[in-house]
Amino acid sequence: MSAPEILDHFPAGSPRGSWPAEERAAELRSQGQPVTVVMDLPSDRFLVVRESGERS
């Protein structure tokens, strides 16, 4: 399993929570990119990552 490609990141402590990451993901999806938002606990960030298409 390879590491996900991180396209953008946002601090989890933002007053708007995950909204900035979700808005960026929506923008990328509208451009045809398969992306999702995940929470990275060690770095306390929301990450916008490219979906690999692999499911476990």
pLDDT for 56 equals: 42
Q: Show pLDDT as tens, one digit a residue, over the chain (56 residues).
A: 578 899 999 999 988 889 999 999 999 999 999 999 999 999 999 999 998 765 44
Res 1: pLDDT = 57
Q: What is the rounded distance in angstroms from the CA atom of residue 10 to the CA atom of residue 21?
A: 6
- pLDDT for residue 54: 54
Residue 25: its pLDDT value, please? 98
CA distance 44 to 40: 6
Specify whether the CB–CB gap between 39 and 21 falls below 8 A. Answer: no
The burial of 3, by beta-carbon neighbours within 10 Å (0-12 exposed, 13-18 middle, 19 or more buried), is given as exposed
